[in-house]
Chains A and B, each alone.
Chain A
Amino acid sequence: MSSVLQARGVVMTFRNGDEETQVLRGIDVDLAPGELVALVGASGSGKSTLLSILGLLLRPTEGEIQIAGQRVDDMGEKARAAFRNQRLGFVFQFHHLLPDFSAMENVAFPAAAPAGGISPEMRRRALSLLERVGLADRAHFPASRLSGGQKQRVAIARALMNRPELVIADEPTGNLDLRSAGQVLDLMGEVNREEGGTFLICTHDEHVAARCHRRILLVDGKVQPQEEKAIPGG
């Protein structure tokens, strides 16, 4: 099976004046389609940096990255933005919803902005995603009136709007209470099982990592070999 994500020899060095800090020291990552993978590691291990690089929000100092069979590390800014829009989904620790828009409009936004408006097809897709995340009855509520957990579920629906090959989640439950965090994790698990979406979840929460198929442990900018957990139903 071809990889959804293949990263080879990713190095990231930050420069501050004369001082150089190597945060990633030659990372290799492979994600197979339909995998739910946790990216774990202590603070400062470089997991957020790796996630940003794999999400095309940051350029690595060295290394080669392919997503869905396409080389992405040498793309120009416009092509990277278009790739992020069409092929990747993002869920962040903070939901970052647009407060002046309804839940449905927030979900449809990544498709609507490049197309110039919300088409009936986009509306149907957004509503079905909201139904999927259990918020069909909140579709026309302004995002500002939703609870924290509901907002994060809307954010997940938004990440799935353009049917991305890979969803990148950075501490998606970090700001939620236990119950809401559980709901969000259940949801990502369901979407992963039922729609075969590939998820890379950066977390320092053991509960989150435990619910993933496998984990990638970063220690001091390097991937540590892990025992793989069987993919449920796989």
Chain B
Amino acid sequence: MFALTVARRYLTSNPAQTVLLVTGVALGVTVFIFITALIEGLAINLTEQVTGNSAHVTLEPATRLAQILPGDDGVRTEGVALISTFQRSQIRTWSSTVDLIRSQSGVAGLSPQISGNAFLVKGEAVQPVSVTGLEPEGLDAITPITPSLVSGQGALGADGLLIGVELAKDLGLTAGQPVLLRTDRGGERLLTVRGIFKTGLQSLDSRVAFMSLQTARPLFNLPEGVTNIEVKLDEPGRAREVADFLAGATGLRATPWQDKNLNLEAALDAQGRTGTLIQIFSLISIIIGVASALVLSAYRRRSEVGIMRAFGISGRFIVAVFMLQGLLIGLAGGLLGCLSGYGLCTFLASLTGADGTPPLPIAPERGGYVAVLILTTLGAVLASAFPARSAARIDPLEAIQQ
């Protein structure tokens, strides 16, 4: 393509100006990538802090509404729906549901659970506790309990119990000691504290006790089903989509973590919008930079373009020459910017502060590289449209006579 040859020649004829222009574009792209990686990193960091110890999607039995018969006039008169309490709320088909969830891509872990309320009794001391009965091999699937153990060990066994450090302190319990558990379903059993964990989350450390699913069944009078299935995903951001799918596929109520943390979601949205604004401004600066450089170039080459027009070279060819210059600048600046942006983000991510974590929660792999490359190239082509059109409209006679 001859227009490409001409475009390349125009760019290489003034290397200093071209290098400056490409560097300018690359800088804009670097800023774009830095902001994208930072916003994404912040979101991951915040989400991890919020969801690190809890499920991304929680599956629970669908809410059953009581059947309300219409009155004589055929109109239901009740203002609120009545929840049916006739049957125990549980997931009976949990085994097939677990298989279905496991077959989905992006599922990092899952845990069928029996959750209920109970009291731990030691002597005269009584503490309310939220009991989670789970499969012993899935102990760390949702909350990394084993790594948080401060004493004892994580093997639950038939009568084992794991409790948080605050609860242990309140009841004066240490690992290996027996404790009586009395559930809200009337079950009662003497269990042994196998281990004490410290997650740093008050709600877990002072209120939660873990036991095996088999131990929980008689205590909560649930011989077959489970009360909930907790799912952890590789990408927490997909929780809503996965929840919608699972709700549709299983008929269960699926709640994504965002619904339990609406404030966080709003904060992340606001942060995302700020990032988008900065991204848009860096793209605009790229477009203005390319456009102004090409306007100048078109002006400088007026007589050359004029002679081309005099020789009957089509306006389309002239437009192609200038738009290809935009394309080459965008592509070169975009690629260079992607490299420097990745380099900068990787460097920042490798730094460690006093507490051993990076000073900026940056995610170098989330820099939006493909998007910025495409946007920059398109932007640069768009930026060249105006100078290209004005060059193609140069009156040959006027340009030659100058």
Binding site for B on A (CB under 8 A): 52, 55, 57-58, 78, 80-86, 88, 90, 92, 94, 96, 98-101, 109-110, 112-118, 158
Please tell me if the beta carbons of B2 and A117 are within 8 angstroms of each other in the complex: yes
Looking at the assembled complex, report how far the CB atom of B285 sits from the nearest CB atom of chain A, in whole angstroms. Answer: 29
Q: Closest A residue to B12 by CB, please name it.
A: A100
Q: Mark B306-348, 1 if CB is under 8 A from A, else 0.
A: 1111111111010000000000000000000000000000000
Tell me which residues across on chain B come within 8 A of A114, comparing CB atoms.
312-314, 317
Looking at the assembled complex, report how far the CB atom of B308 sits from the nearest CB atom of chain A, in whole angstroms. Answer: 7
- Residue B119 lies at the interface, judged by CB distance under 8 Å to chain A: no
- Residue B397 lies at the interface, judged by CB distance under 8 Å to chain A: yes
Q: Closest A residue to B315 by CB, please name it.
A: A81
Known contacts A57-B397, A85-B312, A110-B312; is A96 also within 8 Å of B307 by CB?
Answer: yes
Please tell me if the beta carbons of B309 and A81 are within 8 angstroms of each other in the complex: yes
Additional A-B contacts beyond A80-B312, A92-B400, A110-B313 (14; CB < 8 A)? A57-B397, A81-B313, A83-B312, A86-B312, A96-B304, A96-B306, A96-B400, A100-B9, A109-B313, A112-B2, A113-B308, A117-B2, A118-B2, A158-B311
Query: How many residues on the B side are at the interface (Cβ–Cβ under 8 A)?
Result: 25
- Which of B5, B12, B308, B315 touches A117 (beta carbons < 8 Å)? B5
A153 to B306 CA separation, bound complex (whole angstroms): 19
Please tell me if the beta carbons of A82 and B397 are within 8 angstroms of each other in the complex: no
Please tell me if the beta carbons of A109 and B311 are within 8 angstroms of each other in the complex: yes
A15 to B304 CA separation, bound complex (whole angstroms): 28
Overall SS of chain B's interface: helix
Q: Closest A residue to B312 by CB, please name it.
A: A85
Looking at the assembled complex, report how far the CB atom of A28 sits from the nearest CB atom of chain B, in whole angstroms. Answer: 23
Looking at the assembled complex, report how far the CB atom of A37 sits from the nearest CB atom of chain B, in whole angstroms. Answer: 20
- Residue B13 lies at the interface, judged by CB distance under 8 Å to chain A: yes
A115 to B3 CA separation, bound complex (whole angstroms): 10
Looking at the assembled complex, report how far the CB atom of B139 sits from the nearest CB atom of chain A, in whole angstroms. Answer: 69
A100 to B14 CA separation, bound complex (whole angstroms): 10
Please tell me if the beta carbons of A101 and B311 are within 8 angstroms of each other in the complex: no
Name 12 interchain pairs, CB-CB below 8 A, sorted by A. A78-B314, A81-B313, A90-B311, A92-B307, A94-B400, A100-B9, A100-B12, A109-B308, A116-B1, A116-B2, A116-B3, A118-B2
Looking at the assembled complex, report how far the CB atom of A94 sits from the nearest CB atom of chain B, in whole angstroms. Answer: 8
Please tell me if the beta carbons of B396 and A82 are within 8 angstroms of each other in the complex: no
Q: Mark B1-39, 1 if CB is under 8 A from A, else 0.
A: 111011001101100000000000000000000000000
Please tell me if the beta carbons of A101 and B400 are within 8 angstroms of each other in the complex: no
Known contacts A57-B396, A57-B397; is A110 also within 8 Å of B304 by CB?
Answer: no
Looking at the assembled complex, report how far the CB atom of B13 sits from the nearest CB atom of chain A, in whole angstroms. Answer: 4
User: What are the 5 tightest A-B residue pairs by CB atom distance, in nearest-first order?
Assistant: A85-B312, A84-B312, A96-B307, A100-B13, A81-B312
Please tell me if the beta carbons of B311 and A110 are within 8 angstroms of each other in the complex: yes
Please tell me if the beta carbons of B303 and A96 are within 8 angstroms of each other in the complex: yes
Tell me which residues across on chain B come within 8 A of A115, comparing CB atoms.
2
Tell me which residues across on chain B come within 8 A of A55, comparing CB atoms.
310
A81 to B311 CA separation, bound complex (whole angstroms): 7
Interface residues of B in 287-310 (CB under 8 A from A): 303-304, 306-310
Looking at the assembled complex, report how far the CB atom of B226 sits from the nearest CB atom of chain A, in whole angstroms. Answer: 70
A85 to B196 CA separation, bound complex (whole angstroms): 89
